[in-house]
Structure formats: structure tokens, C-alpha cells
Chain A
């Protein structure tokens, strides 16, 4: 065990050293290969060539890794989705036709839409409310820190935590899950919460909302602090109520940030996988695309065609946000 840690540390040191050596040596070689000496024409030509090559030395490892691990796979997955289960024969659109007719796929689409409709809205809403309320408290930062804390917890860890909350014992027994305990205390009947179709989706969503509200809160809190003082003052002088100031002055000014938070969580929701895998593994109609895709990757020896087709559907779903992000980033860069 110790040797494993030691070897990890060695790899870390070697890796960093190798990377540093790469950058240092390639730069050095470039300087030596195209020196500043010689006649003026040659020297200035060397200078220009060096300036052309050097950025790519800096970018080289990053571009290579991005190409192998992200760009190539996206294209390959797209192609694989038109091939059979072993990626041998071309099957046209039949993986997609299968998907449309598959009950599991349709259920996943339905559930994903449900998640998309609920989770980003809930996180943004709670995040905004908590950001506004904690801001006027002396212990506000402490409160925010505790709401933010689940961000550090893994989806799997959060699943264990919430499975304990949803724990079920037979009727009449002492419930050690707090939800059933409360239900029983008020005279209700304990339920197997995760096995109630449709509603169980919401019990899973609660986990992600619990994790992500802190993220929304932190960002929106910063945006709220950035609102110019004068606009609020003017509204106060005009006799606006607190409610009006919040909805008509504050919210419109942080609209851009709200959109950012919303889209960031939307992306996360589309990819939600761990929670469903660990809580129900898609049983009781809780399947989502990411888990369905993972299932088809391995079950029964795996079906790369169907799995790839599901991944492509996910990709299509994030594409509008991707384009929007790129546009926004480009506009921002023009300002520089």
C-alpha cells in the first residue's frame, strides 16, 4: 500500500519533471536551431519563424491530449453510432430507430426532461433566495459555507447519505430513515420512496439540488454584490417595496449570471449518472440517458452502436448551450 503511494508520488514528480523538461528543451532547441546570428536578413527570418513555431511548442501537449481524448472520440462515437454492436458492419440509422422504439430510451428521455425542468430551476431559485437572505446576516458567511459544503461531496457519497434518509423498514417497526420516521410520527404509512414510479425521480433530484444549490448561491451572491448602489437607491427614493426592488431592480441586473448558473447546471443534469446508478440503477422507471448509455456499453458484452447512439443524443442536447457559450466567450474576448 505504502509502495503504491510512493510510486504515485514518484510518477507525479517524474511527470512534472518530464513536462517541465519538454517545455524547457523544446524551447532551447528552437533557439539553437534558429539563432539570431548571421546576416540581418537571415536573423530576422529566424526571428519570425521562431515566433511562429513557439506558440505550438507551448500548446503542443494540450492540443495533443485534447485531440486524442475529446475531439477524436466525438467523431468516432458519431461514426460508431451508425455501426452494429461490435462496430463491424454499417447499419445505417437502425440504432437510432431502435432507440426511438425502445421503452427504456423513451423513459430516459422523459426523465431527463423532467430533471432538466426541475433541477436547474430549483437550484437557481433556492440559491438566489439563500444568497439574498444570508447577505444581511452577521453569520451569513458561515451559513453559506454550510450550504455550499455538499459541493465537495461525491455523487456516490451523497447517494449513500440520502439512501439513509429514504431507508425503509416494515410498517410498525422503528424507522431509522428520517423521512419514514417523520411520516410514521404523524401517523402515516412508511413508504419505499425509491420504488414509487414517477415520484421517485424527484427523490433522486433532491440529491442533486442539495449538492448544486450552494454553487448557484455562491455565484449569484457575488453577482448581487456587484449591483450598482445607485439603482437601488433610486428605487428606494421612488418608493418601491422590497419585493419590487428584488424582482424589478435586482433580478434583471443579474439576469446574465442567472443564465450562466442555469446553463451550467443544465449541462450537469444532462450528464447525471452516478446518482441514478447508485440509488436505483434505473429501476422503477428512473432511468436516464447517461446511465442507459453506460448500461449498453457493458451489459451482455456491450453494444457499442446503441451506446454510441445514446451518447450522440446527449451530445445533441448540449450543443445549443455549447454554441451559446462559444458566442459569449468570443464577445468577451473582443472586449479585450
Chain B
């Protein structure tokens, strides 16, 4: 029976639960939604209104000018100047006025009586009609008017285009893939062999080794950085190769992922049915055959769990990439590029939001498509073995 039914029996009011959960979920999703919506907004709108208003038109006050005396025409007894105040700019006039202090004095589409027989009407599309019973005598530049212009929401992919090409996010995306794919695949095999040995082979020091692996899971990365950086520099100098290479970071990620990998896989592999492995042994299969033909295929769920962990961890890592791959622009992974953009483009939210979304897109896809394995891995790693 689910806890749901148990609690229903206890009798907490259902509506309150629904509402509370809804609020919590909204709170949790809102931050990501903000970045997501913003990344598609027009740059000019993004800077003047909050993203939660993105789907309504934004209104701002503008100044415009009517036509000069050269446009004046006589229609019977009255003199008329007409044209369009928006002059081809997008948007719609909500209201207009003739004084800066009252830009919304008259509603669009109504006729404003400005005194002395002078009248002005401006439609929402910007077309105006300025009439007078006597010839206009204003100077030739035309009368100033103030407008409340509503711009419809504009959504665009331009931000993405800009960051992918102009800001180097495209290159960083490739770099992230270059780092993450091998750094996910290589440790799996290494860890799986080790996990098998720790589960089904008996040798001296097995318990000790297993304890060491468990202990190493929590060693802070910070303990490794300085000596490894020195080691990499020495090896680089000795072999005459650069010290910051993809190979270097693959190995680093592999090693840092190993303790958890071995622990997770060992917990799974040790729980495989003893009969299968022992009957294979009786049939004369060696450990190598048992591992490759029986254990490896059966361990697929655990391997998938770990692969997701490791991929997310490598893709999202900043520290290891900064130390072992460096911070030169062409070598930045997505997290590093994002960090650099926060410094150089601190206020340009159209760039930051699009870049951030590019960087979280792949992990989100992995998360939503493979969540089942992720949860299983978490449970195996934390609650208890097996």
C-alpha cells in the first residue's frame, strides 16, 4: 500500500496538499523558466521589462513629431497636416499628448481639442490628422507630440545565433562534448572490472581495498589539485608536450569518478544471483568469460546509472576543467565559458540567458529521458548496497 493511502487514512486535507505542492513546484520551476523565456526575448524588450511580462505588450513613452508646414493642405475651410507618427516603427499608439508631463492625455482614436480651433487625432496605427481653422504658423520642424506606444512581444532566435557564433558558446559546446564523452565511457570499463574482482574473486586485502574505495569517495577534489597540477607540468616538460590536454582531463575525470563507480557497480554486481556465476564456473568458464559474457550484460542498469551520473558530473564540472584544461578561450568548456561571460557580459541578459540555456540543455535532455536510471543509481549509492 502506498504512503498516499496511509496518509489519506490519517486525513490531511487534500486540497491544501494539492495547493502546497503546486506552489512548491512553481517555486522550483520559476528560476529556470525565467532564463528560458528571457533567452528568446528581444534584447530591447528584455532590458525594459521583467520576463514574466514577456507575453503581454510592453508600453513605453516616446516622443514624435508631426509634419511641418510643407505638408499643410487646405480642405475647404480647414487646414490639415496628416501623416504617421510612428514612421514605420512597429507598435501601436495607446494614447498621446502634447506636453511631456502628460504623454497620455488623450486616448488613441479620439480627437483632442487643443484650443484656437486646432484639433489633433492620432489613431492606434500612428496615422494622425492635425487640423486648424486658420493656416498653421508653427515653425517648419513640426509640432512635438508625446506617445504611449505599446510594442507587441517579440520572440527571436537571434540571441542563440549570437552566442553560438559570436560569443564562442558553439566552440565551448564542442569542447564540453569532447571532454564529457570519453570521460564517461572510459571509467565504466575500468570500474566494472574492478567491481567484479571486488565482488566475486577472493584475494588478500579485499576488505581493505573496498574500505579504501569507500573512503576515497568523499576525499575533496581540492586535496588532489596542487600535486596533480605539478605532476602534469613535470610530465609535460619531460615529454615535451603541453601540460593541459584533453587526454589529461579525461584521465583526471576517470580517476575522480572511479571510487563512486566501483562502489555503485560493486554493490550491484555482488547482488547478482550466486547460482548463475557458480554454475558457469562449474562449466569451466574462467573469470574473464564470466565477466564479459554474464556479469557485464546483467549489469546494464547499474552501468547506465553510473554513466548518467558521470556524464552529468563531467558536463557540469567547472573546477577540474579550469585546472586541467586551462582558461584560454578556445579551450573553455561550457561552464567555463559561462563563468567568463558572467564577468565580461554581466548585464547582458540576452547573452547570459541564451548561453546558460545552451549549457543546461544537454543535461536536461539526459535527465528527462533517463531519469529512471538516475534515481536507481542514487538509491543504490546512498540508501544501502544492492
A positions within 8 Å CB-CB of B = 1, 4-5, 7-9, 11-12, 15-16, 19-20, 23-24, 27, 31, 51-52, 54-56, 58-59, 61-63, 65-66, 68-74, 76-77, 80, 87, 130, 132-137, 140, 143, 145-165, 167, 174-178, 181, 210, 213-215, 218-219, 222-225, 227, 229, 232, 236, 241-242, 245, 257, 260-261, 264, 267, 270-271, 273-274, 277-278, 290, 293-294, 297, 304, 307-308, 310-312, 314-315, 318, 321-323, 325-326, 329-330, 332-333, 336
Contact = CB atoms under 8 A, between A and B. Distances in A.
B316 A277 contact: no
A294 B22 CA distance: 40
B251 A69 contact: yes
Among A24, A58, A155, A210, the one with the most B-chain Cβ atoms within 10 Å of its Cβ is: A58
Given A4-B174, A161-B31, A330-B211, A130 B197 contact: no
B210 A16 contact: no
Interface stretch (B70-78, B96-104, B117-125, B351-359): B351-359
A302 to B, nearest CB: 9
B214 A326 contact: yes
Contacts of B170: 1
Interface string B1-25: 1111111111110100110111011
Given A55-B197, A154-B335, A329-B210, A242 B11 contact: yes
B255 A66 contact: yes
Nearest to A72: B227
Interface stretch (B61-69, B179-187, B298-306): B179-187
Nearest to A219: B382
A65 B182 contact: no
A115 to B, nearest CB: 14
Given A55-B201, A77-B227, A162-B31, A153 B214 contact: no
B335 A156 contact: yes
Contacts of B29: 146, 149
Ranked nearest first, the 3 interchain pairs of A and B with the lowest CB-CB distance are A69-B255, A154-B316, A136-B4
Contacts of B190: 19, 61-62, 65
Interface residues of B, number: 131
Contacts of A87: 230
Contact of A153 (B14, B32, B177): B32
B311 to A, nearest CB: 10
B48 A133 contact: no
Interface stretch (B85-93, B150-158, B364-372): B364-372
B373 to A, nearest CB: 13
B277 to A, nearest CB: 14
A336 B175 CA distance: 44
20 contacts: A12-B182, A58-B197, A59-B197, A61-B193, A61-B194, A66-B212, A69-B251, A69-B255, A136-B5, A136-B7, A164-B34, A178-B50, A215-B378, A224-B3, A242-B12, A278-B338, A308-B226, A329-B214, A329-B263, A330-B211
A325 B342 contact: no
Given A242-B11, A332-B384, 7 more contacts: A135-B2, A146-B28, A150-B32, A151-B374, A174-B48, A176-B50, A271-B220
Contacts of B318: 154-156, 273-274, 277-278
B56 interface: no
A24 B288 contact: yes
B178 A318 contact: no
Contact of B222 (A62, A145, A264, A311): A311
Interface of B: 1-12, 14, 17-18, 20-22, 24-25, 28-32, 34-35, 38, 46-52, 170-171, 174-175, 177-178, 181-182, 185-186, 189-191, 193-194, 196-198, 201-203, 206-207, 209-231, 246-247, 250-252, 254-256, 258-259, 262-263, 270, 286-288, 291, 312, 315-319, 323, 334-335, 338-339, 342, 349, 352-353, 355-356, 359-360, 363-364, 366-368, 371, 374-375, 378-379, 382-385
Secondary structure call for the A interface = helix
Contact of A133 (B17, B339, B359): B17
Contacts of A135: 2-4, 7
Contact of B21 (A16, A133, A157, A161): A133
A325 B382 contact: no
A248 to B, nearest CB: 12
B286 A27 contact: yes
A59 B17 CA distance: 51
B355 to A, nearest CB: 8
Nearest to A149: B367
B329 to A, nearest CB: 14
Contact of A165 (B31, B178, B375, B378): B31
Given A143-B21, A167-B349, A318 B219 contact: yes
Nearest to B270: A336
Contact of A16 (B189, B220, B312, B366): B189
Contact of A66 (B51, B202, B259): B259
Contacts of B17: 133, 136-137
Contacts of A136: 2-5, 7-8, 12, 14, 17
Given A73-B223, A174-B48, A232-B6, A63 B32 contact: no
Nearest to B35: A161
Contacts of B319: 273-274, 294
